[in-house]
Structure 1
């Protein structure tokens, strides 16, 4: 298996090379040259596998430069009941006829990012030990990626983490999760700006090839293919649970997924699963008031917003107006035309802050070819959905999952199960839960008093050079 850049760079690389690299040299994102296909017989043969062994079966289709026994051991070490709190790892809960919630937030930081980040930590440690090298990870978070990465990498040999986040824009619980860590290999940088400023800094540093090579810079954001492919697994796991049926019922059943989406990484993993042959009817992107993705799927116009036009909402992990993973989908949408993708995401976005595919035949056929749909949710919608879910099902959901449930109900189809991907546990957004229900959400005992712990964080302006200087100082 070889990987190529969405912007047409001629190099083709193997998995372990792009694992440590992040962005391609031309600023593009890596994708496999082709998506491996999984037929109905293979899908059926995976019923009954543990989540760890299912992960091995899927990841081994993409990773041929780690010995199979080693990769299987990494998967089994990652996906355990001790780490994720349940033997199913991602159990499916039926909320009402045709509507399901897939639990992805039972990991160490109570958010779906743990599903991939725990694996990534083991992969990094394995490959760095094999090479006898070190890696400095630079990331950007709007709330959950940062804590998931830091908890996955803390204490790992050969790894330092430099995590940028928008100063003052995460929930108090999210800030405390990250900033209370005292591990010497973990560095928090609060950027005076919004998440997109953090993401731009990560990309700018990654595109400085001399600095990147000198200081061995890698990424854990979903621009790193390794993290995205790990997320593909729970789509297969959700499908396998939702389509359990008697042997007399022929053919693979189809399901739909609704995914709360800001940076397009989580739902992009669903796109990959569908391209592999998983019978997905619809992939529904649910946005909050920062609706750049919903606008594209409705109109064909991709329009990024500046900091002043990025709303601060009660589902803050989706307060994103520049969806970096969207480039992967557009690459497939446009027939894998790297030159055109480079023009759109390079010059055209830089010049106009937008591009328009509304008149392109590829966009006209996008829903039929790729199954995408979308919808938007507001603060009032979140409150109403949280109340409804609690009153009718006795299930408390976080604000982002509430966005997903609201939009999912608008896209239900008779006979097609709709699975909403849970994003986090409610305690991470306690203020809005109290506003909706008049009660505090429960929290695991290990997080009691966390907000009162000493904090280790540096505040910096949204300046690439200042961040580079901070990295160099702490790596020297």
Structure 2
């Protein structure tokens, strides 16, 4: 299995070669030369597998240059009940991603897939725990070290830091928007005192942080000298690890490969739902992939109109589902590459237009940049939007009817999912985080504090260690160099 850049100006590489990096040298994102296919017979055989064994079966199709015995050992080290121990009362932690039926009537079925049982209570742990083990494995093989440089709107940062803390040969430099995460998210990251963890609070929004990561990744001389890698969803291994739980959700919700399911995915940077797109391209019987956005509705606008229009920092809303406060969806490029028939020259021109004009238009209307929007339905994509009043009402409604507390992002997903139900097709909403991470809104919705798993009772009171910085690429480069000694 070889990987190519969406921009078409970088040589094809193996999985292990691109594992530790992020952007391709030409500024594009890596994708496999073709998506491996899954047969009906394989799906039947996978129904009885544990999560770790299912992960092995899916990932070995992509990581073909890692010895199968090594890959199997890595996934079994990662996906254990001990690591994913924060399951809700009554759940079997060994299932890793258990399903909860929320609504079932008139042929409609709405299901919640729990993805937040890991150490940081967010779905990012599903991929990040594996990524930490993969990184350590690869670095040991190469007798090398790695400086991870990433950006977070709330959950990626803590998931990465908890996965990488104490790992041999790894340092983590994580950017986050200053004072724009929840109190719990902030404390979860900034309270870590491990010497290999460096938190940088940027005076700006997440998109400013993400732009800095891309700028550093595009400085190939600095990137190579400082041994820079990334854990953001621009990293292919991070996305492909997320493909696994789409297969798990489908297999757990169906009894026959003749059945289809749909997924609604709270969406900001397009990484999570991009994994669903990959699963569908592999042959998983997915009917619809529904992107649920908050007030920052860049993706909803595209899937309704064909216009991709990024917002400036001043136009990006700070909301009660802050991990989706993103107005420039990095992973969207992977889907557009497929939508354009993998025409890398056209893709590069469109994303150059994003930089110069703030977006592009594929609606097919006079003066537009193309007519590919007409093909979007072939890939199953739909979308919807949820605002603060919606998520508060949804949190309250789900709790009153089903006794389940959900977080603000998951509430956005449930609200939008209810608008896209199809009789006879189970709709699975991907959980984003446990509600404890967004207690301010839970208190508003339910009139009480969210329950917290053991060990997180007083996290906000812990000492915090972080560095405040302007959104300045030169300054962050100096900071990295000063703390690596390279």
TM score, norm. by length of structure 1: 0.98
Determine the structure 2 residue equivalent to 1:363. 373
Alpha-carbon distance in structure 2 between the residues aligned to 1:244 and 1:173: 39
Verify the 8 A CA contact 1:91 1:102 in the aligned structure 2: yes
Determine the structure 2 residue equivalent to 1:289. 295
Determine the structure 1 residue equivalent to 2:461. 452
Instruction: For 1:42-441, list aligned pairs within 5 A.
Output: 42-85=42-85, 86-97=93-104, 98-244=109-255, 251-346=257-352, 348-359=353-364, 360-367=370-377, 369-441=378-450
Alpha-carbon distance in structure 2 between the residues aligned to 1:117 and 1:30: 18
Verify the 8 A CA contact 1:40 1:252 in the aligned structure 2: no
- C-alpha deviation, 1:448, in angstroms: 1.8
- C-alpha deviation, 1:244, in angstroms: 2.6
SS in 2 for 1:114: helix
Determine the structure 1 residue equivalent to 2:88. none
Determine the structure 2 residue equivalent to 1:248. none
Verify the 8 A CA contact 1:284 1:373 in the aligned structure 2: yes
SS in 1 for 2:97: coil
The number of aligned residues is 469
SS in 1 for 2:82: helix
SS in 2 for 1:136: strand
Alpha-carbon distance in structure 2 between the residues aligned to 1:260 and 1:349: 23
- C-alpha deviation, 1:21, in angstroms: 1.7
Verify the 8 A CA contact 2:174 2:199 in the aligned structure 1: yes
Alpha-carbon distance in structure 2 between the residues aligned to 1:15 and 1:123: 11
TM score, norm. by length of structure 2: 0.96
Alpha-carbon distance in structure 2 between the residues aligned to 1:252 and 1:277: 12
- C-alpha deviation, 1:252, in angstroms: 2.5
Once the two structures are superposed, what CA deviation does each residue of 1:430-465 show, in whole Å capped at 9, x if it has no partner?
Answer: 000000110100101211221111111000000000
Alpha-carbon distance in structure 1 between the residues aligned to 2:58 and 2:121: 24
Alpha-carbon distance in structure 1 between the residues aligned to 2:289 and 2:147: 34
Verify the 8 A CA contact 2:124 2:156 in the aligned structure 1: yes
Alpha-carbon distance in structure 2 between the residues aligned to 1:176 and 1:319: 19
Report the more deviating stretch, 236-245 or 261-270: 236-245
Once the two structures are superposed, what CA deviation does each residue of 1:248-306 show, in whole Å capped at 9, x if it has no partner?
Answer: xxx43100000000000000000000000000000000000000000000010000001
Alpha-carbon distance in structure 2 between the residues aligned to 1:350 and 1:73: 43
Determine the structure 1 residue equivalent to 2:475. 466
- C-alpha deviation, 1:10, in angstroms: 4.0
- C-alpha deviation, 1:236, in angstroms: 0.1
Alpha-carbon distance in structure 1 between the residues aligned to 2:472 and 2:430: 35
Once the two structures are superposed, what CA deviation does each residue of 1:63-108 show, in whole Å capped at 9, x if it has no partner?
Answer: 1111000000000000000011201000011111100000000000
Alpha-carbon distance in structure 2 between the residues aligned to 1:92 and 1:438: 27
- C-alpha deviation, 1:9, in angstroms: 1.6
- Uncovered stretches (5+) of structure 1, i.e. residues with no partner: 246-250
